[in-house]
Chain A
Amino acid sequence: MSAFYQLDFEKPLSALEQEIAEAQGRFDREFPSRSPTAGLAPEAALDPLGSVTMLDPQAQRLLARIAELRESHRRQLAEIYGKLTPWQTVRVARHPARPQTRDYIAMIARDFAELHGDRRYGEDPAIVTGFARIGPHKAMIVGHQKGKETAEKIACHFGCAHPEGYRKALAKMELAAKHGVPIVTFVDTPGAYPGLGAEQRGQAEAIAVNMREMSRLPVPIVSVVIGEGGSGGALGIAVADRVAMLQNSWYSVISPEGCAAILWKEANEQTNSAAAQSLRLTARDNLSLGIIDAIIPEPVGGAHRDPRGTADQVRQWIVQSLDELIRKPVQELLDGRYARFRSMGSWLEQAPSAVAADPMPAD
């Protein structure tokens, strides 16, 4: 699964992974009749009341060995992921096998009715929109899509939306609001696209208008940062009543590389890492700063190792949040949303007179 793309801090596991694969291969070769149960879940073969008792001792030993290796792998993986640095978290958030908006739609939504286009300029595949059902709720889903295969990645500009993407998002959210349908957004972008056409067509205006309008849409809005929450491009679909981040996602005013290039004058492994640290961009940081309301846990080793397990958690949080929000009268909902963003920031407040209490001699 991660064979084609390995994060450097996962390298210590590669020897172990190879050993598991070899043992598994040997088992499949030597006990071909048992191989269907061998697959990815040797636990099934080890079921004490099941087939394992029928195996010869050599097969049992081999299966036990595989189980032992897997347990060791799981423990080491948990240890590595238990102490990811902020920069390592960014790398996990960008893992090519990490589930994207369309994956979540496939895993948690039913009866998805995709809707295209901004009715003004074009269709931007970097933002996916459409009606869907999630648990007991109808919803309008809006999410960044980075793309998986090369052609899709290029069409999606790697998840960097153009103004038409943001305007499409708003048009569909307004459609939902008109018909009383709650909105669910998935945030996963390095940032809004920085290019000629984007500027010509008013990238800044598109994002600004989205934020203004989302703040007053009279239906519940919930957002989940599923991967990258890059600056205004992320916030342009994330002015919501409840915002959650997946455990290994990031959300910040600028990417670590962008920040390092400006403040450290150079982006390299070391400065990127320092910038990621300073930016306080992890889910835990954002929770403590009051920017998000919840952290959605990922299975051991990150969402890319277990997309379904991750999707289950995401669905649970969305359904539970919508359960609460749909009960609120509209004005209470809107006041709550306003208050949520109104309270953000950190500053000192002092009466101007307090400064004069200990005056310095005038120069």
Chain B
Amino acid sequence: MTKTATRTWQEVRPQRRAAIPEGLWLRCPGCARMIYRKHLEANLHVCPECHHHYRISAAERVDQLADAGSFNEMFTDLAPADALNFKDLKAYKDRLIAEQIRTGSSDAIKAGRCFIKGRQAMVCCLDLTFMMGSMGSVVGETITRAIEHATPDPALNKPGLPVIIVSCSGGARMQESGLSLMQMAKTSAALARFDDAGGLFISVLTDPTTGGVTASFAMLGDVIFAEPKALVGFAGPRVIQQTIRQELPDGFQRSEFLLKMGLVDRVVHRSNLRTEIARVIDYTGK
């Protein structure tokens, strides 16, 4: 066996990848102005001119959300398996390795304990840079373990933790088929037990959150926040358009639309996210 054959993604250890293309200057998709990268980064990857919220990786999200140095990553021993031996134009196995090498992550999620403005919480961030943040077994299992870890248990004198899940996902991962689908039931069932035990779950919807992720834990928050103009829905806009054969109204399936429909509690600017989360933790804390 050659060394290259046994090399795993973890041994390759590439540089952490950002969700935003390289370059000193970027054209903002919101206002078409040229934005200096340093300014963008200093502004939480939000356009200083038009407040367009750029998509960010899970690592960047954790950096933004957690008090500096407080993130204690958990469940990192989980790695995806190709139980179905799935093949489309490319084998899932190869796709996984390519994504792992490209992103330096094992799968599309980062989870762990941290402090947010001094309040301890369990945080899970989906990672759009890894296979569009799709939920397969590893994402579902990580979220379930995080919820279970955070579930209060008076019998064990365990107080539990608030759970914060930041979603961004293309939905359930097709390459794990039925197993991905079942992660929807699994995470939802874990949230039922968490709810029974009196836990607080804050769901944060970011651009884009669709499919099986929206239709499971993402819409089950006790409190649901959405970043401005994030695409949030069950079916993708293209599928809907093909079904109803008419133009979709402006702003359809965006955060502000969901707010108007009564489906989310607040649209929260990224710069206020920590404050709003901390506030709800305080209000619901014993």
User: Footprint of B on A, CB under 8 Å?
Assistant: 192-196, 198-205, 207-209, 211-213, 215-216, 231-232, 235-236, 239, 251-254, 258-259, 262-265, 274-275, 278-281, 285-286, 289, 291, 337-338, 341-342, 344-352, 355, 358-360, 362-363
Q: For the complex, give the distance between the alpha carbons of A285 and B3 in Å.
A: 35
Q: For the complex, give the distance between the alpha carbons of A212 and B219 in Å.
A: 11
Q: For the complex, give the distance between the alpha carbons of A362 and B10 in Å.
A: 12
- Interface assignment of B280: CB less than 8 Å from any CB of chain A: no
Chain B interface helix/strand/loop/mixed: helix
A194 touching B239 in the complex, CB below 8 Å, given contacts A199-B233, A345-B182, A360-B12: yes
> How would residues 248 to 268 of chain B score, 1 for a CB under 8 Å from any chain A CB and 0 otherwise?
110011000000010100000
Asked if A200 and B235 make an inter-chain contact with CB atoms under 8 angstroms apart, the answer reads: no
Asked if A346 and B234 make an inter-chain contact with CB atoms under 8 angstroms apart, the answer reads: no
Which B residues are CB-close (under 8 A) to A254? 172, 174, 177
Q: For the complex, give the distance between the alpha carbons of A344 and B183 in Å.
A: 7
Asked if A347 and B182 make an inter-chain contact with CB atoms under 8 angstroms apart, the answer reads: no
Contact among A203, A253, A341, A342 for B177, CB-based, below 8 A: A253
**Can you name the residue of chain A whose Cβ is closest to the Cβ of B246?**
A196
- Interface assignment of B83: CB less than 8 Å from any CB of chain A: yes
**Can you name the residue of chain A whose Cβ is closest to the Cβ of B209?**
A204
Which B residues are CB-close (under 8 A) to A258? 239
Asked if A202 and B261 make an inter-chain contact with CB atoms under 8 angstroms apart, the answer reads: yes
Identify 15 residue pairs between A and B in the complex whose beta-carbon atoms are under 8 Å apart, listed by A's number: A195-B235, A201-B261, A204-B215, A207-B234, A211-B216, A212-B192, A239-B188, A264-B88, A278-B84, A279-B84, A291-B178, A344-B179, A345-B141, A347-B137, A352-B76
Which B residues are CB-close (under 8 A) to A207? 215-216, 234
**Closest beta carbon of chain B to A344's beta carbon, Å:** 4
Asked if A251 and B178 make an inter-chain contact with CB atoms under 8 angstroms apart, the answer reads: yes
Which A residues are CB-close (under 8 A) to B138? 345, 347
Contact among A194, A209, A236 for B220, CB-based, below 8 A: A209
Q: For the complex, give the distance between the alpha carbons of A210 and B116 in Å.
A: 31
Asked if A235 and B181 make an inter-chain contact with CB atoms under 8 angstroms apart, the answer reads: yes
Q: For the complex, give the distance between the alpha carbons of A40 and B47 in Å.
A: 75
Contact among B174, B191, B219, B252 for A202, CB-based, below 8 A: B219
**Closest beta carbon of chain A to B178's beta carbon, Å:** 5
B-side interface residues, number (CB < 8 Å): 71
Which A residues are CB-close (under 8 A) to B144? 342
Which B residues are CB-close (under 8 A) to A253? 172-174, 176-178, 180-181, 212
Asked if A252 and B192 make an inter-chain contact with CB atoms under 8 angstroms apart, the answer reads: no
Asked if A215 and B189 make an inter-chain contact with CB atoms under 8 angstroms apart, the answer reads: yes
**Can you name the residue of chain A whose Cβ is closest to the Cβ of B7?**
A360
**Closest beta carbon of chain A to B19's beta carbon, Å:** 21
Which A residues are CB-close (under 8 A) to B212? 231-232, 253
Asked if B261 and A342 make an inter-chain contact with CB atoms under 8 angstroms apart, the answer reads: no
A212 touching B189 in the complex, CB below 8 Å, given contacts A194-B239, A204-B218, A205-B263: yes
Which A residues are CB-close (under 8 A) to B189? 211-212, 215-216, 239, 337-338, 341-342
Q: For the complex, give the distance between the alpha carbons of A232 and B184 in Å.
A: 8
Asked if A349 and B78 make an inter-chain contact with CB atoms under 8 angstroms apart, the answer reads: yes
Which B residues are CB-close (under 8 A) to A202? 219, 261, 263
**Closest beta carbon of chain A to B200's beta carbon, Å:** 15
A-B contact sample (11 more), CB < 8 A, given A208-B217, A253-B181: A194-B243, A199-B252, A205-B219, A232-B184, A235-B181, A253-B178, A264-B88, A337-B189, A342-B186, A348-B79, A351-B77
Asked if A263 and B88 make an inter-chain contact with CB atoms under 8 angstroms apart, the answer reads: yes
Q: For the complex, give the distance between the alpha carbons of A215 and B144 in Å.
A: 14
- Interface assignment of B31: CB less than 8 Å from any CB of chain A: no
> 8 Å CB contacts to A: which residues of B221-255?
233-236, 239-240, 243-244, 248-249, 252-253
- Interface assignment of B8: CB less than 8 Å from any CB of chain A: yes
B87, B89, B185: most-surrounded residue (chain A CB, <10 A)? B185
A337, A345, A348: most-surrounded residue (chain B CB, <10 A)? A345
- Interface assignment of B81: CB less than 8 Å from any CB of chain A: yes
- Interface assignment of B80: CB less than 8 Å from any CB of chain A: yes
**Can you name the residue of chain B whose Cβ is closest to the Cβ of A339?**
B189
Asked if A291 and B179 make an inter-chain contact with CB atoms under 8 angstroms apart, the answer reads: yes
Asked if B6 and A358 make an inter-chain contact with CB atoms under 8 angstroms apart, the answer reads: yes
Q: For the complex, give the distance between the alpha carbons of A29 and B181 in Å.
A: 57
- Interface assignment of B214: CB less than 8 Å from any CB of chain A: yes
Q: For the complex, give the distance between the alpha carbons of A253 and B181 in Å.
A: 5
Which A residues are CB-close (under 8 A) to B174? 253-254, 259, 262-263, 279
Asked if B185 and A215 make an inter-chain contact with CB atoms under 8 angstroms apart, the answer reads: yes
Asked if A345 and B179 make an inter-chain contact with CB atoms under 8 angstroms apart, the answer reads: yes
Across the A-B interface, the 8 shortest Cβ-Cβ residue pairs: A194-B235, A345-B137, A346-B83, A215-B189, A263-B88, A204-B214, A211-B188, A344-B182
